[in-house]
Amino acid sequence: MKDFYLDEEFCFHNRFGRNAKDCKLLKNEGLKIGKSDFSVAFWIKTQLCGLSHHPRSFFSLSTMLLHFNKTEKDSFSGFDEIPELGGVIMSNTSCTFANENGFSFLALPYEGCFVARFCGQGRGGFMKPLDDRWHFIAATFDRDDACSLYCDEELLCKFDIKNSRDTDVDSDGVGIGCDAAGDWGFQNGFLKKVLITGHVLTQKERQALYFPEAIELEKTAINDRMGLCAEYGSTEKAKRLLNSMLYKNRATYKKIKDAHESMISSGTPRVVFALLSDVHILDTKPAAVKIFRSAMADLRSFPFRLDGLICGGDFTHDSTSEAIDYGWNIFREEFSKTSIPKATICIGNHELWMGNKGCYKTGMPSWLKNIKPYRDDDSLSPVYYENQMAGFKFFVLNCDPPSDNRLTRHQTHLSKMQLDWLNCKMEESYKNKEFVFVMLHQPFRNTYHLTGREYGDWDVGNEDGALRTILSKYDNFLYICGHMHQAFNIAPIFMVDDKFPSLQIPGLDYTPKNFCMPGTGYILFVYENLLIFRARDYLNGQWLTEYDKAIRLKDGWRVDKVMNSLESGFSYYETDKF
């Protein structure tokens, strides 16, 4: 097998379930693999994270088929503009009915993940390659051992392919942006620097393919962010480094990454808050306890002052009094080890209804008892309250008693009294020209993605509309929620009804199909007219800079602009309709 390389960049605008129109079909005798080892490498960038002001959404296969087969007379409320996602990224075989006698890389529309396959074997569930940023993919096929799949420098998986060592992969062509038959096209994305080679790429060879391009992308990211950083910090070191002659290797990449981080962290913020949510502590979940302890240890290691901790609910996993007491004993133990002066916390659905013995009658009283020392009013009632941290007001909404003492699985209940209280607080803060935070565990309807599920009872609930109506009158706040365990790469700061911003904190316990390990959250840096949300991997003590977000304020108290990416050429809400 001869080496095959295409340096050019390809753009694909195909549609799910339709023959590929944008693709490149390669017919070349040199592409015959036979029974030999081989490797495939390429750079990929998707455009899947939003369409027509909708959040990124994936649905069950049955829902997708219903959507694509519906007639013009059918009504399909709420799903008329589903992003048509997925397809075959590259393959040397026909992928219809999964009759694979070769390799294929796919973006599954109904699971929202990246998949690699070879001769009927495969692995998937990876979201990192599909997060609308450039990523380097390398797959090595050792016919006597395994397929190893890499994204950037990270080994995503290995799967056994020994059973196909004697299979003659005799295709004489490769589809780029589709399968080899041209039947299944890749939607909404780009490929470039495609390499197919007749041996297993070594680590050194993979690095030689990765670092030159990664360095150029990092330089672009620094230039993109330099203007924002110049508003509050120093950019001189980064400028000098960009103008110097550098080798295209790991050492250079690290030097540029360090300069990028130094530029971002320069300057002196007014206030710094740590954000986490959905810890799900339970005595039978030791992993959740370990993750929380690791996160708190990470917060203790910061070289800067933390002014407060924000928790978006579901700190504990169950609503029995024993479960809630167990979780909050651990919270108090770990929080006391930090120098963080205050915490502001809302209740989650797990703390109200979960467990065979759990319900609102046990969950809420136990939670209120444990949260009492962290409330400014030092009170057990009402369930909602106001806290102040570092001069900022937090209006914390919590579930009122439902009339039948039962709740739906995930929703909340907000009484008229609570809504009236919030309206008064918001009106007062607006008159005083104060920027404030509103907290509730649940997100608003149609502002979140949930892999493989349809919209159900995951949102605020019956008072969704009433709460929107109140908050839509104001532009001096950020709505903070948790609940959905959304990963950074699929959860933007969403402009609810184009009126006000809503931020979902990732789940500390887990983030479905996220590329990184559990244990993620945000560190919020507040400057005079900027809120910078830095994505943090608490478990591994690392910044995930590419997922940072920002909100620009006007006159220090009104929302002016939401920036879901600080990189050029990226937007959650302005993706073209293909």
Q: What is the DSSP string of 180-248?
A: TTS-SBPPSEEEEEEEEESSPPPHHHHHHHHHHHHHHHHHHHHHHHHHHHHTTS--HHHHHHHTS---S
Residue 3, token pair as written in the block = 């080496």
- Residue 313 in any domain: the answer is yes
- pLDDT for 517: 58
Rounded distance, CA 87 to CA 89, Å? 6
- Residue 572 in any domain: the answer is no
**Is 272 strand, coil or helix?**
strand
Residue with tokens 């990189």: 567
Rounded distance, CA 349 to CA 313, Å? 8
Residue 383, token pair as written in the block = 């369930």
Identify the CA nearest to 523 among candidates 550, 562, 561. 550
500-530: buried (b, 16+ CB within 10 Å) or exposed (e) per residue? bbbbbbbbbbbbbbbbbebbbbbbbbbbebb
Rounded distance, CA 82 to CA 223, Å? 34
Please tell me whether residues 251 and 397 are part of one structural domain. Answer: no
How is 394-438 classified by DSSP, letter by letter? EEE--PPPPTTS---SS-----HHHHHHHHHHHHHHHHTT--EEE
Please tell me whether residues 350 and 273 are part of one structural domain. Answer: yes
Please tell me whether residues 435 and 463 are part of one structural domain. Answer: yes
Please tell me whether residues 186 and 287 are part of one structural domain. Answer: no
Please tell me whether residues 259 and 283 are part of one structural domain. Answer: no
- Residue 574 in any domain: the answer is no
Q: Find the helix or strand (DSSP H, E) in which 552 lies.
A: strand 549-554
Please tell me whether residues 298 and 175 are part of one structural domain. Answer: no
Provide the number of structural domains found in the chain: 3
Please tell me whether residues 109 and 251 are part of one structural domain. Answer: no
Residue 323, token pair as written in the block = 């479960």
Please tell me whether residues 254 and 151 are part of one structural domain. Answer: no
Looking at residue 95, which CATH number applies to its domain? 2.60.120.200
Spell out the per-residue pLDDT of the chain, length 578, in tens.
Answer: 778 899 999 988 776 666 777 888 888 767 788 899 999 999 999 876 544 344 444 443 334 444 444 434 333 333 344 445 568 899 998 887 665 789 999 987 555 678 999 998 999 878 788 877 899 999 999 999 999 999 999 999 999 999 999 988 876 689 999 888 888 888 778 999 999 999 999 999 999 999 999 999 999 999 999 999 999 999 998 998 888 767 788 999 999 999 999 999 999 999 999 999 999 999 999 999 999 999 999 999 999 999 999 999 999 998 889 999 999 999 999 999 999 999 999 999 999 876 555 678 888 999 999 999 999 998 998 999 999 999 999 999 999 987 665 556 678 899 999 999 999 999 999 999 999 999 999 999 878 765 434 445 678 888 999 999 999 999 999 999 999 888 787 677 888 988 999 999 999 987 654 444 578 999 999 999 999 999 999 988 999 898 899 999 999 999 999 998 786 655 443 332 22
**Which sign does the torsion angle of CA 290, 296, 299, 301 carry?**
negative
- Residue 577 in any domain: the answer is no
Rounded distance, CA 393 to CA 504, Å? 19
Sorted by sequence, the CB contacts under 8 Å of residue 336 that are 6+ apart come out as none
Looking at residue 346, which CATH number applies to its domain? 3.60.21.10
Please tell me whether residues 321 and 407 are part of one structural domain. Answer: yes
Q: Is the peptide bond before 382 cis (omega within 30 degrees of 0)?
A: yes
Q: Which residues pair with 44 in a beta bridge?
A: 135, 191
Q: Find the helix or strand (DSSP H, E) in which 77 lies.
A: none
Please tell me whether residues 550 and 427 are part of one structural domain. Answer: yes
- Residue 164 in any domain: the answer is yes
Please tell me whether residues 178 and 299 are part of one structural domain. Answer: no
**Is 257 strand, coil or helix?**
helix
- Residue 204 in any domain: the answer is no
- Residue 575 in any domain: the answer is no
Domain span at 237: 214-230+233-263
Please tell me whether residues 178 and 223 are part of one structural domain. Answer: no
> pTM of the predicted model, to two decimals?
0.84
Residue with tokens 């088929």: 65
- Residue 568 in any domain: the answer is no
> Is the separation of the CB atoms in 313 and 485 below 8 Å?
no
